[in-house]
């Protein structure tokens, strides 16, 4: 931080205004919140930076100070409001004691995510459809999916090392299946309001774990 920036921040605090850094964080959050509504109303493809800026009551300069493009903003929304909570659920798998079942807690966490981020999950499906037709978007989408799989595969490996149950299916393959299952159940839950859908994820996790135990000959008889 330069001396001039520090002085400017002190003047802002004395005037009861946020510092430049605080202002940046506030404007970033305003843009993300506004984008959720604009994307939900107009869709990812047709929404524009100008519409997002207008909804946030900010300037284009502020937008481009925080994000390089509409897609950059959208991927930030996914990272902060979908992927970050998802990785927190994966950490439960990584860090829980060996004798502590995790499937129910993870299923409950998925249910909360579905409830709290419904609009963004809808947008994620639209983004997937766009990526299926656009090689540039597909490359970034694959990168996001690959990063999530790697985190989950590492968590599964750590979990099974702690419990002593061998992974007879490669961790990467299990991670791919679990992420696909979560996405599929999320899709169903967006339309079908049956309360059992989110909880089903935890049940299937438990069944898979029981199956791995049985395959290894470790299940109780």
Domain ranges, ordered by start, for the chain: 1-67, 71-221
Question: What pLDDT, on the 0 to 100 scale, is given for residue 124?
Answer: 87
Residue 80, H or E segment: none
> CA separation (Å) from 204 to 33, 43, 177, 191, 197?
34, 33, 11, 21, 11
C-alpha–C-alpha distance, residues 154 and 175, integer Å: 9
Question: What pLDDT, on the 0 to 100 scale, is given for residue 48?
Answer: 95
Which residue ranges of the chain lie beneath pLDDT 50?
Answer: 1-23
Per-residue pLDDT tens for 53-76?
999 999 999 999 999 999 899 999
Question: What pLDDT, on the 0 to 100 scale, is given for residue 197?
Answer: 74
Question: What pLDDT, on the 0 to 100 scale, is given for residue 19?
Answer: 35
CATH says 1-67 is which class?
Answer: mainly alpha
C-alpha–C-alpha distance, residues 171 and 155, integer Å: 9
C-alpha–C-alpha distance, residues 105 and 92, integer Å: 8
Question: What pLDDT, on the 0 to 100 scale, is given for residue 198?
Answer: 66
Taking domain 71-221, whether its CATH number is 2.40.50.140 is answered by no
């Amino acid at each position: 931080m330069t001396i001039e920036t520090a002085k400017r921040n002190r003047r802002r605090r004395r005037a009861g205004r946020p510092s430049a850094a605080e202002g940046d964080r506030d404007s970033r959050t305003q843009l993300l919140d506004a984008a959720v509504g604009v994307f939900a109303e107009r869709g990812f493809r047709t929404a524009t930076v100008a519409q997002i800026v207008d909804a946030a009551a900010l300037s284009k300069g502020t937008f481009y100070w925080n994000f390089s493009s509409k897609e950059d903003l959208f991927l930030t929304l996914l990272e902060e409001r979908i992927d970050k909570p998802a990785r927190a659920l994966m950490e439960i798998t990584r860090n829980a004691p060996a004798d502590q079942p995790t499937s129910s807690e993870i299923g409950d966490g998925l249910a909360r995510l579905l409830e709290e981020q419904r609009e963004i999950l809808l947008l994620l499906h639209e983004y997937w459809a766009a990526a299926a037709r656009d090689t540039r978007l597909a490359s970034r989408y694959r990168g996001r999916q690959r990063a999530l799989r790697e985190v989950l595969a590492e968590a599964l490996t750590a979990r099974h090392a702690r419990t002593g149950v061998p992974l007879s299916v490669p961790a990467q393959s299990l991670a791919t299946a679990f992420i696909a299952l979560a996405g599929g159940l999320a899709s169903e839950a967006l339309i079908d309001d049956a309360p059992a859908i989110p909880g089903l994820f935890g049940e299937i996790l438990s069944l898979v774990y029981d199956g791995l135990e049985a395959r290894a000959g470790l299940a109780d008889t």
